[in-house]
A and B are shown apart, each in its own frame.
Chain A
Amino acid sequence: MNSTPQLTKKNVALEVRNLRVVFHTYAGVVKAIDGVNLTVHSKELLGLVGESGSGKSVTALAIAGLLPENAEVLEGEVLLRGKDLLKQSKKELRMARLTDIALVFQDPMTYLNPVMTIGTQITEIFTGNLKIYKDELIQSRLDQIENELRQETDPKKISKLNEEKTKLEIKKQNSSGISKKEGKRLAKLLAIEYLKLVKLPEPERVFKMYPFELSGGMRQRAMIAMALVRRPAVLLADEITTALDVTVQAQILKLIKELRDKVDAAIILITHDLGIVAETCDRVAVMYAGNIVEEGDVIEIFKNPLHPYTVGLFGAVPRPDIEKENLEPVPGSVPDLINPPSGCRFHPRCPKAFERCPKSKPPLIEYKPGHKVACFLYGG
């Protein structure tokens, strides 16, 4: 199992407070997200689980400011580096996406632009924003040169690298920007480094390839490289393994775990697969119908689930170690979010519901240190 990072407040990467999002549709107002609270820390892997339609992806899009036009954020805060993203201008939001918040999506076939090479799709992040990325591009090339120098024995190449190093250091001191051509060259080298980092074979070749020339797993790795290359503070991974077959899934998850240690990102892994959460995450938040119903340490929640919905979810997963005649699905289905149930949105399906449940909404309370639950059975 995973070593759990300390759950102190010292390095909170992203905090979502009381987020409420609705969608205006022809059928009515869909209350998709109803008061979500989330905290992720740097180098932490948080799993966000729930059924389809529980609002996991909407939460991710709301954090990145990429909600579709018919969505409206009613209230809430998304705090990143002490700033509320929801109150920022379009340009500031774009900057946040450029430098701090990265997304990786479900289907690597449709999310990569079919008519652009993998390389262009990575380097355009830098070449379109050379002013912002000048220092980072130069610094990462300098680091690359240091590494190469350590391994290089050919004196000719060493002198060549040293020459490049001096040139770059001058450019670094220089307050003026770098030329487009130089930016392109540096961006390419950085992109190839990250394609290597996500373990793509022959990164130089992949750089020049189009998405349709890659396999599903390779495309997903390329998309992860695209996200990580900006060194984001938060990585939102939305169902990144759903479209892949099981062996590739395992590889990608292993990669994500390894990368967590290499880059300082907080990772939110959105999934409906409890197995993935158990294997990969440090903490888990369970979503139901636009609410977080339970949140806590992975081991704690898997050992000791509190919320009836979480208990039901575990009952619905086949386990080879326990002999059962039938799986026990959670009765009923996801509620209609245009007219959601009053009070606790889970009460119509809850086996333990009592008279208080339909009347008011249970708050998310700390039942034990590091284990929060939103259910009246446990107070609140």
Chain B
Amino acid sequence: MQSLKGRKPIPGTIIFDGHQAVKGYQLNKMCFSFNEAANREAFLQDEEAYCKRYGLTDDQRAAVRERDVLKLLNLGGNIYYLAKLTGIFGLNMQDIGAQQAGVTLEEFRAKLLAAGEK
């Protein structure tokens, strides 16, 4: 993407640009379908078949199986769409925040509370 060319990467951050959006199009499209309760149900019935129906790559399907948010982001997932997927597994933004930061939920929450006490 022209406006991002030559930029120094931001540590621990994946910018959702055109490149990522192309890579993750089918993955995000599947997640978009989860706005409908019937589609969440169909996914739970047979995850693998649902992923295949949306044309996810082998890597993306493996990352879905592993509930690995960082991998899904690297494979083009956008966090707002991924939240609809992880919501099916009962994981909210703080759960997946902790998972990505590699800390427990308690540690993740404590760090945020500490930021408020400065």
Answer whether A and B are interacting partners.
no
User: Which residues of B pack against A, CB within 8 Å?
Assistant: none
Chain A: residues with CB nearer than 8 A to chain B?
Answer: none
